[in-house]
Structure 1
Amino acid sequence: MSQLIVALDMMGGDYGPSITVPAAVQALSLLPDLNLLLFGLEDELAPWLSRFQLDKHSRVQVQYCSQQVGNDDKAAYALRHLTDSSMRNALNALALGRACACVSSGNTGALMAMAIRTLSTLPGVDRPALITRLPQIGGGYALLLDVGANISCNAEQLVQFALMGEQTAQQTLGITHPRIALLNVGAEANKGNEAVRQAGLRLREHAELDYSGYIEGNELFLGRADVIVCDGFVGNVALKTSEGVAKLLLGQRRRSGFLSKFLTFCLKKRLSHLNPDQYNGASLIGLRASVVKSHGSAGSSAFLNAILQAVGQIEYNLPASIAHRFDTALQDSHLR
């Protein structure tokens, strides 16, 4: 597409337009080539658009919807009955080529179900995976997937996640040969469930992959791997625990006394890179187009980062890169 267009579900998350509208304003001011398609309920969205003068913005198009996906709505219900929701319409715009990427902070299960229905997965991909960045202690990032789209996975799906993660690390982190590891309860070969052990064996058969074996939860931020693979249950718990610890440390109140204030300032400065708002946005990869899932509790700066992440994926053309990687892997398997 000649234009940079992102579709936004303005009703998702815990706060809706009060967060998504200011984020959209910031994104438009930062990126002069960006165009936005906004989807939401007129009664709730229109006052915020008017307040921030987005209703008359030359690079904004608004489509009002009659429904929204609630946080408690089951994926199957949303798929069947919420066909005029802001989430579904944003994804439809992407599927029809009206947008280059989609961002939503709504219900993860509904987003995944609707994305699969409207966009479908790439050839060779069983299920999309949510992938996110983790800051590393020595600087830079590692990628963690899946972080919540697939609660349980078989060995083949974990291998697929590794291939998708490898390509994402190459494209978005600029790492030529990403180091891949499986998140497990121990480093020994006999540790973990059957799916993880079988995935480890299969990954070792891929000579072109830099597979380094298992890592444990306490190594997530130590720079031991560039792509960390697990099922969505384990990944989501690991991610949410990490975010909770970061917020605990960054939210400590300053105590009285110069020394206490100085130490608190130094701690916050040292750990500022762990602030989840700075790396908000988990990409739903393995689909035929780019979809970014923002945290439901994200503030405007965090939702802005999710929009910027979507723009980055458009520039990298990540779905096409993953499709090419799977096509190459399939050809290699036929040759063996």
Structure 2
Amino acid sequence: MTVVWWLAGVVVLVVGGVVAPIGWHGWPSTVVGNVFALSLVVSGLVLAWWRTHPRLVAVAGGGLWLVAGGLSSWGWFPDPALVILALLSTVAALGFRGWQGAAGLAGYLLILFYLVGDPNPVPLMMFSVPGFLAGTVLRQRREVAARLAARGRELEEERELFADLALRHERARIAAELHDIVGHAISVMIIQAAAGQRLVDRDPDRTREAFAAIAESARQGRGDLQRLVDLLGGAASGGPDLAVIDEVVDRAARSGLDVSCRFEGVRDGLPAPVAHLAFRVVQESLTNALRYAPGAAVRVTVSGSVQILVVRVENAPGSGADAGVAGCGQGLTGLRERIQELGGRLSAGPVVGGGWAVEAGLPL
């Protein structure tokens, strides 16, 4: 609808500003006079394409105006036609940027002034320069709007990218938590179940202890899963402290693991993320000791200072057969990534004597 109204406006302008005035004063009877009149008419009609081809409109319309200026002595020049010149100047500013458009307009006006032969240049200046300045302002507004729109699209793409990264990070965090919770509980249950199978006929008392350990590990795993579900659901959760390390060490000892724990230095008032990761380091290390070094003595040391909390879990070589509980290989990798996010470090490897040690340094 806007295009239709603009085309109608162009037609009205040409008819009212050129055709009607020239016809009122008498349409030229000579060929040259008709060329003069038609040049003014067509210079106005080409404005219909100013949106799609501004440079072409400016060049074609301006050229026709030069023809009309050179032939102005062959016919009566209607003053309303200067409105077409103003519109062509505006379109020229839209099509040509900066100094190119300004220099082109200046040169054009000099040629047109020479061809018209009018001793007074004010009318040409009044109907060209303001239009050119208005077109320049309109073009700059369009360019700013285009840049803002492009920046808006970039920001939207960045927002979607950050949202996707945040989603992946949250999924990885949940997967790591599930691994720590389920992996530890299932490892203890499998090892105790295997022990119960071996002892069921020859030592009923120890068999009952093994099944009791299985039940306790299952209850603890269920409780940990429920806390994770509550946390993901937005429920308030009290921040963990190093007391949970005592709990996991006690449970491991009751399941038959030869484990001891010693605390040194500061252990109260630790940030919740640090205490949680310290607990996960101990839990993952005890789980690996149960899997790969059954019967080995495990020593847990937690040393706190003003700047760093160091957690070290070291086990001797296993004295029994491998428990046959294969891990997924992601436990220590996931822990290292989470610790590095806090600016800490995690190292794991063999020690002198054939054992294995895991040590984490967590900044406070």
- Indicate the TM-score class for this superposition, using the shorter chain for normalisation: under 0.3
Rg comparison, structure with higher value: 2
> Which of the pair is proportionally richer in helix?
2
**Structure holding more strand per residue:** 1
So what's the TM-score if we normalise by structure 1? 0.20
TM-score (norm 2): 0.19
